[in-house]
Structure 1
Amino acid sequence: MGTSPAAADAALVRRRLDRLREAADHAGVAATVVTPGSDLRYLLGLSGSSFERLTCLVVPTDGASPVFVSPALEYAGLTGLGLEGLGVDVRTWVDGEDPYALALAGIATDRVAVSDLTPALHAFRLREAGATHQVLAGPILRELRMRKDPAELEQLRLAGAAIDRVHARVGEWLQPGRTEAEVGADIAAAIVEEGHALADFVIVASGPNAASPHHSLSDRVIERGELVVVDIGGPLTSGYNSDCTRTYAAGLAPARDIACAYAALQAAQEAAVVAVRPGVTCEAIDEAARAVLRESGLDRYFIHRTGHGIGLDVHEEPYIVAGSNLPLEPGITFSVEPGVYVPGEWGARIEDIVAVTETGVERLNNRPRDLIVV
């Protein structure tokens, strides 16, 4: 476990806890239990993962003091959270005690929302301790986390600029005769050099591998004239993530038919970005990209959603996909990343992170989207 800069902003923590209570009240739940992960980092600035010992934040909807439960051996390193000054009831426990009963003591448990990625080990023990009617807290927390505040947007701008600097350097490493893994190792190092805490993912997919959207790295040697999809990203120290994809041609421009298909993909990505504005639904953005590819006869090769939300998680709400009638609002951030994947032959993808503004859209990635020969 560790703390992030958000932990020092008491006013921000109070505001987010108040918003959580309001959303929980609207959802008809008595309390929300949040275990370690991005939700807890959002609320308290506490980073880390769940282990076999229970750590959680319990927020009663009725306005009673939130409860933070932690193993005593862990809490010794968390004094920087300043929870007591925020009116949070800190309850520590030692091995041999029942942390689940401790977490729920004095709290209404008739309907409890539990964060989505809570391990079953803890969810079941909470049920045995009295939280018998559990629902997922994701829909409640989504209402808070989807709309980024100005500080969050600035972190995402910084993340976007940092990953743009890496893409600007791809020509240093992406060369025919090198393997995907060799190129990927250089890119991973640059992601950290350019300001990220770590390289969370590095996709270098060449030739037929580019037809697999989630191909990672292999020992395949990149050949002259092949398309290479480079999809990379990671978190800043603040926890906010980058995610950007560009497609490159290795040493030689591709054949005319591939170049024409790529031009259609570029037009599809542009159409989807231009369509972004408040009030437009997520599925309408997906359709804006898909319609352009349909006109070019390429829609059958576009085999995934157009985008995903991004923030403290690389993939979070909202999802830009058919069937989602969620209207966009200012502060919502997500990827726009249509792709064309011809099985066994080649693939291409263009991805930018965008933010919905009061009047339209702001791109958080600004590298050229043309098919670049390196």
Structure 2
Amino acid sequence: MESDELYPPERLAAARRATVAAGLDALLLTPGADLRYLTGYQARAGERLTCLVLPAEGEPTLIVPALERPAAEASPAPATGVRIVDHADGTDPYPLVAAALGGPVGTVGLADRMWAEQVLALRAALPGAQQRLAGEVLRELRIRKSPAEVAALAEAGAAIDAVHRRMGEWLRPGRTEAEVAADIAAAIREAGHVTVDFVIVAAGPNGASPHHDTSDRPIGAGEPVVVDIGGTMSSGYRSDCTRTYVSGGPAPTEFNDYYAVLAEAQRAAVAAVRPGVSAEAVDATARDVITGAGYGSAFLHRTGHGIGLDGHEEPYVVAGNARPLEPGMAFSIEPGIYLAGRHGARIEDIVVCTTDGVQRLNITSTELIAL
């Protein structure tokens, strides 16, 4: 996929228009998904300042450490029309931000996850400027994925599906969660990801903790095992998929009963996705099935989160989010049931809202997988 398809120059113009509409004079973006979304540059986060200065009027400037200028110039950023300015070690880079703004500014939007030391340094360098969050502007641009972005997410989904299909090579009784996770991490890279973002292998009672990592606990025969894995592709777009397995013997009857409920809830929530349906209605679809079966208190988290250049981004599929879904919105559908001290289960697919319904980007079976 060509970089100008995934990171088109028109994004800077769209961001500038949105900056004006939001009543901001400029956006100041340090390394992260927003900077990459606008320029294609995967900048290194560190104590040396990297900052995209996007004035509402005027030339966009990418300020980088001198030693990282070659990387910035080799990225898609120059093709988007940004001017690159560098600073040497030992010099103060913050006056370069003020210079790139071209004059006094009243209000600037800062990257939502900018380091506090940079926020405070910019406050000192631009003493007359109010600070707001750039997410107010960029959230609306990023929430609807372009066809090229959907293709990148589909590529990521296929890569993580390929890892799940290999689970029988690694997951078996007697091996520890950590041993299985090490094999999975290697396979995530082999499948085309450039980084491994997370590997959750949660067997038996550990499966009742949704964000369990791994441990040195051996996997027992017949224990349910929740495997939640994801990584980042060279495109910058992410994968995230959860399946639940059982190895070496039959799962407990109680588990089989509620897994059937969970699978029904997940299928129903995926099927509910279409333009105009609210995010909270999709959450309610999954939650109503689980609650109706008596497991409502065991569904501990929201039904889903958006995904793209960030692993978690808008839209969030959760009670209280009345925003209607629109074509191009990409997010997870991942209900779970967790019984403390016993076991748990989660099923997660990434889906995209289309013009007339939904597209699953993870297509492996959602049935309980016996290895």
TM-score normalised over the length of structure 2: 0.95
In structure 2, the partner of 1:17 is: 12
Q: Deviations over 1:279-323 (max 9, x none)?
A: 111111111110101100101000111111111111111111111
Q: In the superposition, relative to structure 1, how do residues 85 and 236 fare at CA in structure 2: closer, same or farther (>3 Å)?
A: closer
Which of 96, 102, 108 in structure 2 is aligned with 1:112? Answer: 108
Which of 94, 98, 103 in structure 1 is aligned with 2:88? Answer: 94
Tell me the amino acid that sits aligned with residue 18 of structure 2: A
Tell me if structure 2 keeps the 8 A contact 1:100–1:125. yes
Q: Deviations over 1:311-336 (max 9, x none)?
A: 11111111111111121111110000
Q: Deviations over 1:102-153 (max 9, x none)?
A: 2122144201000011111111111111153000111211111111111111
Q: C-alpha separation between the residues in 1 aligned to 2:324 and 2:352? A: 14
In structure 1, the partner of 2:28 is: 33
Q: In the superposition, relative to structure 1, how do residues 308 and 31 fare at CA in structure 2: closer, same or farther (>3 Å)?
A: same
Tell me if structure 1 keeps the 8 A contact 2:335–2:347. yes
In structure 2, the partner of 1:208 is: 205
Q: How does 1:113-128 map to 2 (within 5 A)?
A: 113-128=109-124
Q: C-alpha separation between the residues in 1 aligned to 2:52 and 2:243? A: 40
* SS, match of residue 234 in structure 1: strand
Tell me if structure 2 keeps the 8 A contact 1:271–1:288. yes
Post-superposition offset of 1:197: 1.4
* SS, match of residue 294 in structure 2: coil
Q: How does 1:194-273 map to 2 (within 5 A)?
A: 194-273=191-270
Q: Bigger CA drift: 20-29 or 354-363? A: 20-29
Tell me the amino acid that sits aligned with residue 203 of structure 1: I
Which of 37, 53, 65 in structure 2 is aligned with 1:71? Answer: 65
In structure 1, the partner of 2:140 is: 143
Tell me the amino acid that sits aligned with residue 41 of structure 1: R
Whether 1:47 aligns to 2:42 is yes
Q: In the superposition, relative to structure 1, how do residues 357 and 253 fare at CA in structure 2: closer, same or farther (>3 Å)?
A: same
Unaligned runs of 5+ in 1: none
Post-superposition offset of 1:362: 0.1
In structure 2, the partner of 1:368 is: 365
**RMSD across aligned C-alpha pairs, in angstroms?**
1.8
Post-superposition offset of 1:74: 2.0
* SS, match of residue 317 in structure 1: strand
Tell me if structure 1 keeps the 8 A contact 2:12–2:80. no
Q: Bigger CA drift: 92-101 or 221-230? A: 92-101
Q: Deviations over 1:232-254 (max 9, x none)?
A: 11011111111000001122222
Q: In the superposition, relative to structure 1, how do residues 207 and 108 fare at CA in structure 2: closer, same or farther (>3 Å)?
A: same
Q: Deviations over 1:17-65 (max 9, x none)?
A: 0111122122111100111111111111111332222111111113x11
Q: In the superposition, relative to structure 1, how do residues 159 and 81 fare at CA in structure 2: closer, same or farther (>3 Å)?
A: closer
In structure 1, the partner of 2:150 is: 153
Post-superposition offset of 1:261: 0.7
Q: In the superposition, relative to structure 1, how do residues 161 and 126 fare at CA in structure 2: closer, same or farther (>3 Å)?
A: same
Q: In the superposition, relative to structure 1, how do residues 12 and 49 fare at CA in structure 2: closer, same or farther (>3 Å)?
A: closer
Whether 1:335 aligns to 2:332 is yes
Post-superposition offset of 1:346: 0.6
Q: C-alpha separation between the residues in 1 aligned to 2:205 and 2:2? A: 43
Tell me if structure 1 keeps the 8 A contact 2:43–2:50. no
Whether 1:170 aligns to 2:192 is no
Post-superposition offset of 1:95: 3.6
Q: How does 1:288-327 map to 2 (within 5 A)?
A: 288-327=285-324
Tell me if structure 2 keeps the 8 A contact 1:72–1:94. yes
Post-superposition offset of 1:90: 2.9
TM-score normalised over the length of structure 1: 0.94
Tell me the amino acid that sits aligned with residue 146 of structure 2: D
Q: C-alpha separation between the residues in 2 aligned to 1:229 and 1:171? A: 14
Unaligned runs of 5+ in 2: none
Q: C-alpha separation between the residues in 2 aligned to 1:56 and 1:107? A: 17
Q: Deviations over 1:207-250 (max 9, x none)?
A: 00000001111111111111000101101111111100000112
Q: In the superposition, relative to structure 1, how do residues 139 and 253 fare at CA in structure 2: closer, same or farther (>3 Å)?
A: farther
Q: In the superposition, relative to structure 1, how do residues 138 and 11 fare at CA in structure 2: closer, same or farther (>3 Å)?
A: closer
Q: In the superposition, relative to structure 1, how do residues 96 and 339 fare at CA in structure 2: closer, same or farther (>3 Å)?
A: same
